[in-house]
Structure 1
Amino acid sequence: MVEIRYGTQYEVTDLAGKTISEAREHFRAGFGIPEKAQAKLNGNKVKGNSEIDTVLNDDDRLTFAVSRSRTPFLVGALLLALAVTGGVFAATADSATVTLGISAQSDLATVTAFAGPTWTVHPRFKGTIPNGKIFQIAPQSFTGDLLATLYITNGNELVNVYNALVMKVQIFDGAGANATQPAYLTLENSALSLAFNNTTPTGNYTVNITSGYYSNFRWVTGFTPSGEEDPIIFLEVTQASP
């Protein structure tokens, strides 16, 4: 007698002398044995192409079973790995704060205004502008190139008095040497920038009008300038472009 089993179904029957293939076919419908079920004879797997040649004997145990797919296990393992990895990432994603130790310094330089040169104007008159200091620049802790920018801020008044106004401007270091080349501040060029090297300061710098000239209009009858003839010059000191 041979014991045949599939799942929870089994039967002990006279199959001695029959092949495994014949036994499968005989119990296919009754046990619902699928085509992909693996045959085992006495606990040993039987290859599909060997079933037709393998003969059953008395006391044999023939079982059919469908191998479980490993996909759910692999998916579960992958999800577990992701969960563990995600936990590691989460553990390293904590926030932190750093305070940078920045040193606050004083202004790049302090600027002091002087009275500057003076001159006299008349209708239809041409004259020269004398030399005179207009600003002092005293660098503070900063040692680097500086940029001095001068602006004529009341050009709208000056044009009522001057046909031309040209001031030659230059910056000198504390030893009296040239810190910049001369340049011209005029009604047409009312903004002038002068860069100078302050890497090794030699005292305070002075901004001078070294010379210049002017030409006046013939003023309208009854008009006498009262402040409109005085140029107002603004100076700003910043770091020169690196």
Structure 2
Amino acid sequence: TVRLGLDDQPDFATVTAGTGPTWNVWGSYKGSVTAGTLFTITPADGAPADAWTGDMSVVVTIANAHELVAAYRILVFEIEVWDLADDSIGTTEYLTMGLGEISIEFTQATAGPYTVEITGGYYITHRGSPPWTTNAEDPLIMCQVLQREAP
């Protein structure tokens, strides 16, 4: 069973790790990544009302791609950030071992909260027996939220 390791890195907002999806892998296999909530983003408590500009960047990173290459030939996550206040979505981005970091930008957004979600994805593992017992197949996903200055 693959388990996503989740690490939250707050800046001006609280970022809370979710449970994320899990899946099973073995050698020479193609499969899909199930949907799941990775992180919840909430503007910092007690921040003055004028501190929130509505302009932010949500940066999502695969922190251990160098380890994942032992298990996967291909690993793709479809990532979306949802604004729960008005039930809207930012752009959809694809996080892969080759493109290990994505940034989803918001301009004049509400004060949230937001969720970072995997809405799907797929993988292809290597033939043979990679070190499945060393957790080399478990992605570590990090999230950092940065407040941008208004243009």
Structure 2 Cα separation of the partners of residues 127 and 232 of structure 1: 19
Q: CA separation in 2, counterparts of 1:158 and 1:219?
A: 15
Q: Is the 8 A contact 1:195 1:240 kept in 2?
A: no
**2:98 alignment partner AA:** E
Q: Which runs of 5+ in 1 are unaligned?
A: 1-106
Q: Deviations over 1:170-205 (max 9, x none)?
A: 00011462331111000000010001235432x410
Aligned-pair identity (%): 40
Q: Structure 1, residues 113-152: CA drift from partner, whole Å, max 9, x if none?
A: 0110111101000000111000010013323211011111
2:117 pairs with one of 208, 213, 235:
208
Three-state SS of the structure 2 residue aligned to 1:229 is coil
Is 2:96 aligned against 1:196?
Answer: no
Output aligned runs, 1:1-242, within 5 Å: 108-140=12-44, 141=47, 142-175=52-85, 177-201=87-111, 203-220=112-129, 223-240=131-148, 242=151
What residue number does 2:3 align with? none
Contact kept, 8 Å, 1:179 with 1:197, in 2: the verdict is no
Whole-angstrom CA distance in 2 between matches of 1:108 and 1:198: 16
The Cα offsets for residues 75-129 of structure 1, whole Å up to 9 and x where unpaired, read as xxxxxxxxxxxxxxxxxxxxxxxxxxxxxxxx52110001101111010000001
Q: Give the ranges of 4+ consecutive aligned residues of structure 1 lying more than 6 Å apart after TM superposition.
A: none
For 2:126, the aligned partner's letter is F
CA RMSD of aligned residues (A): 1.8
In the TM superposition, residue 227 of structure 1 has moved relative to its aligned partner by 0.9
Counterpart CA distance in 1 for 2:87 and 2:116 is 12
SS of match in other structure, 1:213? strand
| Equivalent-residue separation in structure 2 for 1:128 and 1:143 (angstroms) | 38
Aligned length: 134
**3-state SS of 2:38 partner:** strand
Q: Normalised by the size of structure 2, how large is the TM-score?
A: 0.81
Alpha-carbon shift at residue 225 of structure 1 (Å): 3.8
Verify the 8 A CA contact 2:27 2:129 in the aligned structure 1.
no
- Greater share of residues in strand: 2
Code of the residue aligned with 2:116 in structure 1: it is V
Which one has the largest radius of gyration?
Answer: 1
User: 2:87 is aligned with what amino acid?
Assistant: A
Separation (CA, whole Å) in 1 of partners of 2:139 and 2:132:
16
